[in-house]
Structures are given as C-alpha cells and as structure tokens.
A and B are shown apart, each in its own frame.
Chain A
Amino acid sequence: MVAADGRASPWLDVDAILADPEVRIVVCCGAGGVGKTTTAAALGLRAAEQHGRRTVVLTIDPARRLAQALGLTELDNTPRQVKGTNGAAGGELHAMMLDMKRTFDDVVLAHTDPKRAEEIFANPFYQAMSTTFAGTQEYMAMEKLGQLHARDEWDLIVVDTPPSRSALDFLDAPARLGRFLDGRMLRLLLAPARAGGRSVFNLVTASFGMFARVVQRVIGGQLLADLSGFVAALDSMFGGFRERAEQTYRILQAPETAFLVVAAPEPDAIREAGYFARRLAADRMPLQGLVLNRVHRVAAEALSAEDSLAAAAALDGPAADVLRIHAALAAQVARETAVAARFTEEYPGVPVVPVAAQPADVHDLDGLREIGASLSAGQLPRRGG
C-alpha cells in the first residue's frame, strides 16, 4: 500500500509470525464482515501445515459452510482436530466454536461449590447476564483464550474476535466487568447480605433511602429479591473473576501475542482498522500488522480503463462486454487503492499484507490454503530487494 505522499507500508511477513516459536497467540480483530474468521482459519491451517505447529483456532461465529469445512458441527467448547490437513510438517490443526453460556457456567463452577453454582444457574439475573450481558461474548472469548493458554497444550492459538458493536469491546470487556464488580451499586446491594440482614436496603443513608424507595417503586420487590440473591451468590467468586480478566489482559500485552488487524479496502473497515491501531497502541498491545482482505487486482495491466471503455463503445458482442468488465475492475482497484492509502498515511510504520479477493466464498480447506498462500505471498516482491 502506498500513501498519497509516496510512502509505502512495510510488508507484513505473516510466515515469520506463524513460524516464530515465541509467538503463542495470534488475535485477529477488525470490523464485522471483513473476513476475520476466514483469515483466522487460513492462518491456523498455514501454521499447522507449513510451519509444523500444533495449532488451535478459536472461532466465535463462523459462516455455516466454513464451520463445516473445519468439521465444526456444534458449539461445544471442545477443540477438535480438523480432518484433511496435511501433517507432513509435524503440525496439527484443531478448531472450536465458542459456547458463550457454557464458558460462563464453567467459570462459575470453577470458582464456587456445586450447591452455590446451582443457585446461581437458577437465578433469572444470571440467565439474562450469561446470554445477553453487553460484552459477555467478548469477555468469554478472552476467558476461553486464557483457559487454552493456561493448559499449555498448544504451540499456537489463533483467536477470531466477536463481531462487536464497538470494535473495542473485546479489550474493554474485562475492565468493564471489573468496574461493574467494584461498583458502588454492587457493594451497596451486597452490604446487607454480607451483614446477614434481611432487607436489601436496610443500610440507609439519607439519599440512599430515597434512592431505595425509587428502586422499590420502579422495579418492584420480587425483582429486587432476585437481584440481591444473585449478587450475594456471586459474591464469593468476584475476586477470581477479576483476577482472571486481568491475567488475560496481561497475556495479550505480552510479546508472545501478535495482534493482526483485519480489514477490507472499504471506507468503514479502514476507519475501524484505524481505531484498532490507535487503541492497541494506547493499551500497549503488540500490533504486528494489517491484513487487507478482498483486494482486487487487474490481470490485464497494459489496458487502461479509459481505453477499454472507448474500445467497448466502438464494438459489439462479448468482447465489448469483457472490456467493460475490465474497465469496471480497474476503477474498483483505483478506489480500493485510494481507500487503503488512508491507513498508510495515518500509520506509515504498520506493516500491511494484501490478500486477493476470491470470486466465491471459501468453503473448504483448499480455499483456506489458497488464502494462506496469498497471505504469505506479500513477501515475494521483497526478494532480492
């Protein structure tokens, strides 16, 4: 990619990252709809087949046919070996789909006794929170990453991040959970439970008394009782929760992690990629580069768009159609180049690798291999240079 002032982004050497034994985690992040999951799967396959690494790909919400290609038929949180991979280099590819609720349940079970866990599972607030808490998916993806990392069974973990409402939710989720758990509100609700008191709000200060009356009036007694039961039951595991969130956050900052921002040469995706680059830098997370998916290329380079259109206007039949296709493609390439240049202008030091657009979606391992090859082909122009 070349900026308007002629500066070019350095090439992103994907193979060097995948081959580096010090790199244990690759996180693919970026806006929704840019091919993040496909990129994660292609990277995992390449790490296993070309670099002999025992690899697991953690996917969040893969397209159905891609999931089938990876042999993923259910959300069960269990990494399964992907059939049809070439093990000649000594690597393996495993894949799993995140089951958000189950991951949350496992966290609860890990931090409390079975009886208490049952109480928590039965509480309507837990049910709501474990499926719809803003950021639960993000938090649970990080939790699962922490678990896979702690088991130390894998040479490399490739993580696909959730298609978040905000690009940054997955970085914020652990901190948000921490804030929530440290919140004044929660402590107020917990205080009577800790003191063995009956009413949630018998710890009354002047303004809190007014506040409690409002809450009672608005949400009703039953809801308040459920809520207080919920926070009391969770109380025992708060410390563990926060500790794990912080631990995962530190792993993400460590040199063993490589962040790759995935984008497509479209204005929204490039803007989002810029947010990511800024945010990762602010959080001191190791950004390795940008994977620019769906980049179109002109195959007949000697023909300009203008000449093709002029020729097409003077012709009839299929040849004229083909020249129009060429002109449209050349125009698209020009647009994509201009959009991609915005990223290079803003982040001239961030390495970039373009990945050729595929005419059809990828549904099998051969398609993923092709993308993997395209991802590493970025090195070729540097040879001898």
Chain B
Amino acid sequence: MVLRDRWPARLHVVTGKGGTGKTTVAAALAIALASDGQRTLLVEVEGRQGIAQLFGTPPLPYAEIPVASAPGGGEVRALAVDPEEALLEYLDMFYKLGRAGKALKRFGAIDFATTIAPGMRDVLLTGKVKEATTRAEAGHRVYDAVILDAPPTGRIGRFLNVTAETARLARLGPIKTQSEGVAAFLRSPMTAVHIVTLLEEMPVQETADAVADLTTLEISVGRIIVNSVQPPLLGTGKATRTELRKALVAAGLPADPGTVAGLHTEAKAYLTRREVEETLRDELAALHHDLVELPFIPGGIDRAALLDLADALRSTQ
C-alpha cells in the first residue's frame, strides 16, 4: 500500500500528554510523509520553539522555512505560528488594513483580544493551519501534507472545537464565518488527529479521555502512536537464584549472594513493569484505533534518530 493510503489525511494533528514526545513524533511524521519527493509543512502553535530545538536551528520566524530533507528527495518546511502575526495577516487579507493594523498593535488590542477571548486566538491559529493546508499555486497544492504539533491532550478538544468558543462570543460577523469554515475543515476527512502516548498510566488515561472528547466533537481520531517502546528482554521463564548463580559462575563473573539477589530483584522489577505495560497496551487496544509503536531511542533525539522514527512510521501498515 502506498504511504498516502496509510496516512490519508492532508492535515495531521499530533497531540499527546506533555512529556510523551509529541513534537518528536510530529517531526518524524513530517519527514516520513515528505519522502520520495513530497513536500510537508510542520507547524507549531504554542510559541515554545520546540521544532527549532529539535532540529537544532535558530528560533523559527513567522515564515515557512526548510528544516530537513527527507529520504528520496522530499522537503520538510517548518512554521511557528504566532497569534499576533496571524491576526494581522488575517486582517490584512480580508480587510486591507495597512496602517490600521499597526494601530491595533500599538493599542495593545491584539494582546487584549487574545487574552480576553482565547477562543479567538485558537481560531486564528487553526485558521492559519487550514490556509497552509489548502493553499494552492498554479493548480497544485503547495504542501502534500501539513503536520501540526498541537496543544497537549488536556487542551486538544477545546483547541479544535473553535466554533463553540467563538459562537459564544460572536453570534454574527466575519469571525463567526471564519470559525465555521475552520470547524468544517477540521471535521472533514482532510483532517486526522493522532494521539501520542507512552506505556505509562497517566498518558494512557489521557489518551482514552482525548479519544472520547474528540469523538464527541465528531473530529476524527487517526492513529494512537505509542512512543519509546522498549523491546521485551525476558521470555516467560523466570530464573531462580540457583540458575543465576550457576550462570554467573559459568561465565566467570562475581556470583556472591549479593549479586545474585541483586539480579533477582532487577528481574522482578522488570517483570512488574512489563505486566503494567501489557495491561496498558490492552487498554489502548480497547480504544479501537490503529496502534503504531515507535522504538525507544537511547541516546536522545537527533536528526539521525528522527530519520529512524520516520522510517518506522513509513513502514507502518
């Protein structure tokens, strides 16, 4: 099956509990989907400059700049959306503001608007993402896919449910129209939300909560991506202390009771951890969305590691 059939959406929203590695996964997905001559855009919206840190580049400006190439000659560009700049751009596009836009900034109006009505901030951010995803030049889409490093699971429902927030505030007018357009786009087959998790209790719980939230909002959940999975190291058999001592003696290694007991303790802790992980894996499977597992990368994430993770995502069925 070709990559496009396995990852059919145009906009891939990547969320997950803080600490699960959603920025890393979003970047790896952007590389995977750019392979073989495609072009993707990796977008962040929270002002954290996580993409720049990950790729080891200077802080990203409000512009789409290349950050990586993909296997087979593809290109990944990155964009850090700033709500203030997005608002000015939006106003300029629809209202031809010119000088008045600067006046807005000078009066602190933009800071004010995004403070008092954070829902509007989200409309601007998602609106910019929609614009980039649907942008076409000379009859062709500029990006084959857009990957959004989205807010974490705790805020994702609210972030994507832009109409609810703005409808409360703006019952008429251009902001309402804009938010309705964005909402329709986010609910269309063009968009899929992928949830990154670890085999740990809190992230799995939040994954289940996010699936429920998004389903209620009629936003389509794509895949659940289990990050940092360690390969199993232990068969079903448990080694007794006697077996351990014999093995250590045979290998010419220290076989004192302290070492044997230490190994035994380590194996027991490992088994406990494995059992917890198996239970959590079952809980994830019960959510009935495709699971993708990504390997644990011991040395920290660099460009080589991103390419490995991108490969793992590409070969996903």
Contacts and interface: CB of A to CB of B under 8 A. Distances in A.
Interface stretch (A13-21, A89-97, A147-155, A204-212): A204-212
A218 B95 contact: yes
B119 A322 contact: no
Contacts of B298: 331, 335
A310 B251 contact: yes
Contacts of B121: 134
B138 interface: no
A293 to B, nearest CB: 12
Nearest to A183: B108
A348 B235 CA distance: 43
Interface in B250-284: 250-251, 253-254, 256, 258-267, 269-270, 272-273, 276
B169 A132 contact: no
Interface in A297-325: 298-303, 307-308, 310-311, 314-315, 317-325
B243 A321 contact: no
Contacts of B233: 321, 324-325, 328
Interface in A213-235: 213-215, 217-220, 222-223, 226-227, 230
A186 interface: yes
Nearest to B175: A219
Interface string B11-52: 000000111100000000000000000000000001010000
B109 A361 contact: no
Which of B111, B266, B298 has most chain A Cβ within 10 Å? B266
Interface in A12-41: 31-34
Contact of B254 (A163, A299, A303, A321): A303
B36 to A, nearest CB: 32
A322 B266 contact: yes
Chain B interface size, as a band, is 35 or more
Given A300-B263, A300-B266, A208 B168 contact: no
Contact of B247 (A33, A128, A319): A319
Interface stretch (B97-105, B140-148, B306-314): B97-105
A168 B28 CA distance: 28
A335 B116 CA distance: 44
Interface string B75-105: 0000000000000000100010101100110
B72 interface: no
B127 interface: no
Given A185-B112, A319-B244, A321-B234, A218 B174 contact: yes
B181 interface: no
Contacts of A157: none
Contacts of B20: 33
B315 to A, nearest CB: 24
Contact of A322 (B104, B117, B234, B276): B234
Main secondary structure of the interface of B (DSSP, over half): helix
Interface stretch (A57-65, A69-77, A106-114): A57-65
Given A125-B116, A210-B103, A220-B173, A307 B253 contact: yes
Contact of B172 (A222, A303, A307, A318): A222
Contacts of B235: 317-318, 321
B156 to A, nearest CB: 13
Contacts of A61: 154
A256 B99 CA distance: 52
Given A132-B158, A133-B118, A210 B266 contact: no
Contacts of A323: 247, 263
Contacts of B158: 132
A302 B254 contact: yes
B203 A134 contact: no
Contact of B169 (A128, A215, A267): A128
B201 A63 contact: yes
A329 B263 CA distance: 11
B262 A299 contact: yes
A97 to B, nearest CB: 15
Contacts of A269: 19
B171 A222 contact: yes
Given A183-B108, A311-B247, A318-B239, A33 B266 contact: no
A65 B254 CA distance: 42
A330 to B, nearest CB: 9
Given A227-B116, A302-B254, 20 more contacts: A63-B201, A132-B118, A133-B115, A133-B116, A163-B154, A185-B112, A207-B103, A215-B104, A218-B95, A220-B175, A223-B169, A300-B258, A303-B254, A319-B244, A322-B263, A324-B233, A325-B234, A325-B267, A331-B298, A335-B298
